[in-house]
Structure 1
């Protein structure tokens, strides 16, 4: 156990968005309760993904869009660690940085929020041609597969901006993460939770990832009090799958994991952007071998044609 010397504040890096700050302040409050003798300061910054709002995410690159500036701040000792939505954190981190902690996962599902005129509808009952907003290729591919009659349109901006565009009638419905709405105190906007059979969630969705310097034993030891081991194991398996398939957050790869006693079950999905092709596989294994389970499932998906689908996706989004 590292002995902390209460001589300086611990600096936490965060994006400036409302959701990012809610998540970061939650981490700050939790750590403060465990270490009341320490000071925890939040330092905010904008990332490339925050600044470019008029181009689809897939068109501007998918590696570290919402994390790079925070990682530079860690490397330059401007902050001691950064709080990320784990789904935004690339599976390959810069040399010298490490995923120091994964917090307990909230609901990992996707939610549909409807415009007022369709409050009585579900995705299944929306009229042909209804406009559904999403910025995620993963959601787009799966929803096109199941609902080819709907019209899908890209949407950017923070949660409040997206909800405003929906309420003003630019979209008939939009798809957001359940966890994000819950953290913002907007659970009442969740009109439909999409079942796993329809839309598998993003790798790491619903969990927070705390990234720090690899050799900063003080910070690493401090962050461990927030780690949730079942979530950690599930996300290690998911991230290993994504890393092996060489996909970032903007490729049509979806997952779902569960743990029962010592068995971890991982389902993975790869789909074409046009929604015409979708492959899905499930495997189980010992929880202690979480990352190997992810690697094994990646090979199963490859054998079923995942590489071809992903190669076609990369060509289409360039």
Structure 2
């Protein structure tokens, strides 16, 4: 059987780049593809912080519905936006090789404000908490919209800077010269990676997409998302995680962080384990965080976001 694979995607410039990237890889393998762009609720409602929208799946559920209704065959997502529990009937088909997982600061004028007081913008609780932990005298404003919209807002709002994922700016070739890599900031679980999901009954599309899977990225993002899921953070709590494979000694280096919303409290964990221990590394790391004050901190975060 052969058929044209209908690729569902959000309609932002970055999402369309990602869908086109997957289409080109499938075309190179001999498959025919078609891109179908669908606007998500997260792209439509821009006047509220993401956590007020019930963030889990806000950028993915419209595509999930389209797939379950048979309007698309596969969907391409920024993996950090995908809930850790996929809907019934939808499975992970591939995780593509990860790009940069770094966060970067795009700044107006200069970076002298870092030494004094300043205002930066981000819609991410994780970025906000880590920024306030490092720069407690600063103010963080909410910033919504696609990448281009956020860059435009930075120019007009009078903020000192805004935080972006490096991979997003690099993929669509709009990374400004006035940027600073935040090498101290731990990324979101699966940041920089792309996931392709498939209907579980569609063997043709699964076999096609699975050829794009990058095993090292799949393992590392599994660990990070397992850490997130075990902490029960969904995408709303300030949780950061990064797993990296070290080929030299066949090991995994993992760092996980949980912070209060205001950044004043921080629990972090860092460890290096043999590759054989990867399957439960995220789970055991999260349990360690919970046992060392994380349970109380998670409850405080929930109460903060509820108020």
Q: Please say whether Structure 1 and Structure 2 have the same fold, judged by a TM-score greater than 0.5.
A: yes
SS of residue in 1 equivalent to 2:198: strand
Counterpart of 2:37 in structure 1 is 44
Superposed CA offset, 1:232-281 (max 9, x none): 11001011111111112221000121111331121100000111110100
> Residues 176-195 of structure 1 correspond to what in structure 2 (within 5 A)?
176-189=164-177, 191-195=179-183
Counterpart of 1:157 in structure 2 is 145
Matched, 1:256 2:242: yes
Change (3 A) 1:291 1:190: farther
Matched, 1:34 2:22: no
Counterpart of 2:161 in structure 1 is 173
Cα distance in 2 between the residues matched to 1:85 and 1:247: 18
Residue of 6, 13, 38 corresponding to 1:11: 6
- In the TM superposition, residue 199 of structure 1 has moved relative to its aligned partner by 1.3
Cα distance in 1 between the residues matched to 2:93 and 2:262: 37
Cα distance in 2 between the residues matched to 1:57 and 1:123: 27
Give aligned pairs, total. Answer: 304
- Which is further off, 200-209 or 221-230? 221-230
Counterpart of 1:290 in structure 2 is 278
Counterpart of 2:224 in structure 1 is 238
- In the TM superposition, residue 42 of structure 1 has moved relative to its aligned partner by 0.7
Matched, 1:110 2:77: no
- Cα-Cα RMSD: 1.4
Counterpart of 1:22 in structure 2 is 17
Counterpart of 1:312 in structure 2 is 300
Cα distance in 2 between the residues matched to 1:306 and 1:280: 10
Unaligned stretches of 5+ in structure 1? none
Change (3 A) 1:238 1:39: same
Q: Any conservation in 1 of the 2:26–2:32 contact (CA below 8 Å)?
A: no
Counterpart of 1:270 in structure 2 is 258
Change (3 A) 1:145 1:73: same
SS of residue in 1 equivalent to 2:176: helix
Matched, 1:280 2:268: yes
TM-score (norm 2): 0.95
Counterpart of 2:204 in structure 1 is 218
Unaligned stretches of 5+ in structure 2? none
- In the TM superposition, residue 23 of structure 1 has moved relative to its aligned partner by 0.8
Counterpart of 2:52 in structure 1 is 59
